[in-house]
Every structure is written in structure tokens, then in C-alpha cells.
Amino acid sequence: MSEVKDDSLAELNDLGSLLELPEELSRESALGERLSALLESLNTANPDRTRLRTVANLYHANEYDREAKCLYDWLIASAEDDLERARLNYLAAQLVKEKGDSEGAMSYLETSVAAYDGYGLALAQLGEARFKEGSLDTAAELFQQAKSIDRELASAYVGLARVFERRGEIEQMVKELESVLEFDAVNSSALALLSQVYARLGDEKRAYEASEAIEYSAGVPENDPWFQEVIDAIYDVQRLDFLFLDYFTLNRFEEALPYLERMEALDPENPRYSRYRAVMYMGFGYYEKAEEELREGLAKGGAADVFYPLLVKSLSLRGNKEEAERTARAAAERFGASGELNLEWSRLLVEQGAYEEALSVLERGIESDPYSLELHFARARLGMKKGKIDQANESLRMLRQLAPMDAEAMVRAALVLMEAGRFGEALPFLQQSHQVAPFYDEAIELLSDAHYELGLEAVKSRKVDEALERFEKSLALRPRRMDALGARAQVAVQAGRFQEAELALRALLSAAGDRPGILIVYGDVLFRNRKLEEAREVWNVALRLVPNEGSESELRRELKARLEQTSSLGAGEG
């Protein structure tokens, strides 16, 4: 049995003092009404423990901390069942930990684990407490025990990894953290620690990839069945909103929905919940239901600049383009067009082929919201597509000013130019992206593409040096890129630069494998470079690879001719 703190003794001796509604809580509120009914139904002489625990949960969930702690202590002191005692101590630990009492939390957790050592989260949390006080061996044992109970308890793996880090056992640390990512690929704690350790080990690429993944990591707490009874007792819509958003922002709508339903019950006239529900319906493809929710949200006083863009988008996705456009025009006339409304409206106009009007709508949108990246992306794409180059370039310049450290935004801007065949103009955006995020694959790929395309342009203009330089830059980013390897070799051969051609063809064969068509050219280049024996060997390899079926192929005849013509030449003659 846990030790009862002194400030709880009076309340434990007189349970009746805890079974009165707190003075600051109105009986007319939803929580006040629920608590009043429960308290009035309790017999103070012999209270029903299930109801009393519900009261404790309600106090805990809604930040009546003194009352919650006293009731937990009373229930713990009078518990006869080990499992119940363990769960109550665990809940009390969460309560005092939320208020910064780490010593009290550890005391409750120790009692919880002593009563029942089969709940992984209790073991992991006690392990964390022991780790913080420096008891590494005890912490490691607790984390290992937690892992044995729940093989997907991320906090146990992360805790054990930190023990290994403190001991200097980095290989074991990495193993634990990588194990987390096998079942929870976006665990932010594991990714953050991996990023740090990879950086210390000098593995910059993996450090970057781990740090980038943190941006998309889930903020959803670990599944905690013992604590769920407290979560289910929350009556504070703000706290429920935070829990809801943990799932909603990750598009985990089914898990978010119970929290939304509880918020709606507590605050039925709040238009924000209509927006939440509409977005979820749109995510499921239920556009008519989404539109009903959006109109209801507007009727409840929802902001026009928030609800109308969503309504236009939903109507458009449902295929009701005419009504979507009418709605956009009517909203713009009545409330003024926000940047977001203009963006959705412009998309409708583009689908209809009304490009000039779409550009005008985007211009108005940018006047309304000059810092909107999406409006500038839309104007840049459309302007470039329809020959409005000045407008497109203005938006591209703005994008570079607004988001110079956003590698993805710089790539998107570059794509606008590359789709228009303006590869040279795309380079500064791609180089900026690559500088900000050196291991961002899409930037690397597109930068390689841009250099390759510029190389082809140089070939057409008969600028051999520039072409070869561009192909080299493309290959520096993607060394086994077949088209660039082939183009570099072809340009070098055609320019009579056989030393360069030999190296280029060797790289091409290394990437492509032995192919007769490449081998014959490679042999020719070796011959030109006065390497007769090597040339003949290469031609013989090519000849063996060409099928000899029926009539002899042109390639076989060419190879045989080369071998015959050089059979009488001495080594080193060309």
C-alpha cells in the first residue's frame, strides 16, 4: 500500500468533505451536472467504489487536482485488489507528474509496479524516472521488462537507447532506435536521437534523412488503456480539441471522431466543429455531407473566408462545377474574396479553360494575401503556360523571397520553369534547394535533369565543351545515369576526343553491362587510342554476345570485318 501524504490525511479520515461539488464549479455546466448526479448518489458511509473512481477521474481530467489526489489516495488506501491498487497508483502518478512532482510520481509508480508488474507503460515510466536519477542498471532492467510485455512500446525502446547512449554503447543505441522505426516509422523521439547519433558518427546523409522525417512525425500519444478512463472524463473543450488535433492533422479521422463528438455535445453552436467534420467528410469522399456541414457552420456564424473556400472546393470535387463557381462569385461579391477563395475559384476557371479570368482572379488573390505561396505557385504555373512570362517571373521571384530555406518550395518553383523548357532559369532554384537540403533526393534528381537537358541544348548548338561539362555535372549528382553516360560518350566520340570517349564508354559499360552495340564502339575507340589488343578482345566479347541465328546480322558482319582487318596488324599499331 502506498504511503498517504500528510496533506491528504484529513480528507481520508473524512470522505464526506470530498463528496461536495467544488465551489468554483457551476451546477449548470455539463461537468457540474454530471458530478452533482454522481455525488448525490453516493453513500458516504459505504460509497460505491466504481462511482467514486469515476468522480476521481472527473476531478483529474478537469484539473481539480487536490480533490482528485485525495480521492485517489483514499481509494488506494482502501483497495483490496492488487490490480486495482496498481491502476490507481498509476493514475495518481500521472496526476502529480502533470504538476511537476517527479518525486511523488516515482513513488506512486513504484507502488503500482510492486502491486502489478504486467503493465508496460508503468514499467517504462518508472524506468524513465530511474534513468533521470542516474540509476542506469535499474532503468535498463525496467525498460527491458516493459519491452518483453509489449514489443511495440516505443518509449521502452527509446528509454533503453538513452541508457546505451549514456554508457557509450552507440551501436546498441542505434539498434534500439532503428527497432522503433520498424513498427513506428515516424516516431519523433527515435528520429531525433538517430539524427543526433548519425551526425556524431559522420553519416550526414542519414542524419539529414532522420531530421527531415521528424517534420512529418506523429504527435499521437502511446496507447494507454489505463489512462483512457481519465481521457474519457474530460469536459474541457480546449483539451479535447488538442487531443482531436493529434489525430485530425494526420488524417486519422476515425480516431479523431470520438473527440469531435464530445466537443459538439459540450459546445453545439461552435462553427469550428462543423469545419472539422466537413474536412473529415471530404477526406472520406462524402462531399454532400461536407457541404451540409459547411452551410451549417456558416449559419452558426463561421467566418466566410474559412468556410466558403472549403465549400467551393467540395462542390468542385463532387463535380458540381457550375454551383461551385456561382458560390465563389456570390461569396466574393458579398464578403470580399480572400486569398484562399480566389485560389479555389481560379482552379475552377482553369478547368473551364478561362485562363485570362483565372489569372485576374489570382491577381486579386495575391492583392488580398501577398504572402500566400500557393497563390504564387498557381500564378507562376498558369502564367508560364499561357505566355504571361512577366507575371510568372514575378511570382517566382516572390517565392524565392518568401521561402528561400524551404527546399520543397524551391523544387516546386523549379518545376514550373522546367515544364516550360526553361532549364537554365530553373538552376538557381534547384541549387538553392540543394544547398538548403544537400540530401533531398528530388532536388538532386531534378538538378541532374536540368544539367542533362542543358547539355542536350549545347549539343544542338554544337558547343562541345559546354555539352560535356553539363553531362559531367549531371553525372556528378547521379553517377549511374544511363542517358547522361550515353550522351557524354556519344559527344566525345563524335568530337574525336577519343581519350575522353574511352573513359566515358568504360563508365557506360560499367553501368549498363556488356552490350554489343556499346562494345563495338568501345572497341573502335580503343583502336583509335592505339590499343589494338584490347580493341580486338572487346570486339570478340561483343561477337560472342550477338546471336548467330539464320542469316548473319549486320552487327556480326561489322564485328567480323573489324577482327579480320586488324588480324595482321601488330600490337600497338592503329
Closest C-alpha among 434, 525, 533 to residue 488: 525
Question: Which three-class secondary structure state does DSSP give residue 5?
Answer: coil
pLDDT (0 to 100) of residue 5: 43
Residues with Cβ within 8 Å of 29's Cβ and at least 6 positions away in sequence, in order, are 235
Spans in the chain with pLDDT lower than 70: 1-16, 215-220, 549-552, 570-574
Q: Provide the β-strand partners of residue 218.
A: 187
Measured distance CA(383)–CA(20) in Å, rounded: 69
Measured distance CA(157)–CA(57) in Å, rounded: 30
Measured distance CA(148)–CA(491) in Å, rounded: 62
Measured distance CA(143)–CA(127) in Å, rounded: 6
What would the grid cell of residue 191 be? 528520429
Residues with Cβ within 8 Å of 514's Cβ and at least 6 positions away in sequence, in order, are 541, 542, 545
pLDDT (0 to 100) of residue 209: 86
Q: In 192-335, which ranges are E strands?
A: none
Q: Which residue has the cell 485517489?
A: 72
Length of the chain equals: 574
Whether the model pTM is above 0.95: no
pLDDT (0 to 100) of residue 2: 39
Closest C-alpha among 165, 214, 149 to residue 185: 214
Could you report the per-residue pLDDT of 20-63, keeping only the tens digit for each? 888 899 999 999 999 999 998 887 777 889 999 999 999 999 99
Cα distances (angstroms) measured from residue 249 to each of 219, 255, 282, 286: 9, 11, 14, 19
Could you report the per-residue pLDDT of 302-325, keeping only the tens digit for each? 999 999 999 999 999 999 999 999
Closest C-alpha among 92, 95, 99, 161 to residue 124: 161
Closest C-alpha among 95, 125, 90 to residue 108: 90
Q: Let me know: does 486 contact 504? Beta carbons within 8 Å.
A: no
